């Protein structure tokens, strides 16, 4: 499996200039591609259905070529979902921390 670094996501309770809002997860986020250090800030609404680990711990994200292969045998934190067209995301637990896998289809 080839893992290519994408970004680090850091939960916050502070207000930022949000670039978007993912309604199903009730997550406000900044675009990591706009940040020189590839940081994505995330803020969860009080009624967000996301797991506590996601809401409280930073995550590291990697691009993967094949989501099914990447998550095989892994502990799933958030099952695969599509936050936008051509993008699939899954969060796993690795050594007690959340890891994000992103699969991009052109």
One DSSP character per residue, 75-106 reads EEEEEEEEEETTEEEEEEEETTEEEEEEEE--
pLDDT over 90 at 4, yes or no? yes
| pLDDT score, position 1 | 85
Angle at 17 between CA 55 and CA 57, to 5 degrees: 15
Residue range 44-85, pLDDT digits in tens = 999 999 999 999 999 999 999 999 999 999 999 999 999 889
| pLDDT score, position 68 | 97
For the domain made up of 4-104, give the CATH fold: 2,3-Dihydroxybiphenyl 1,2-Dioxygenase; domain 1 (3.10.180)
């Amino acid at each position: 499996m080839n893992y290519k670094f994408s970004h680090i996501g850091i939960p916050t309770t502070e207000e930022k200039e949000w670039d978007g809002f993912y309604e199903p997860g009730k997550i406000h986020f900044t675009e990591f591609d706009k940040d020189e250090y590839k940081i994505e800030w995330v803020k969860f609404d009080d009624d967000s259905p996301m797991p506590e680990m996601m809401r409280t711990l930073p995550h590291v994200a990697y691009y993967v070529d094949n989501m099914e292969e990447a998550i095989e045998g892994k502990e799933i934190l958030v099952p695969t979902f599509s936050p936008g067209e051509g993008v699939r995301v899954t969060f796993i637990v690795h050594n007690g921390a959340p890891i994000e896998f992103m699969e991009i289809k052109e």
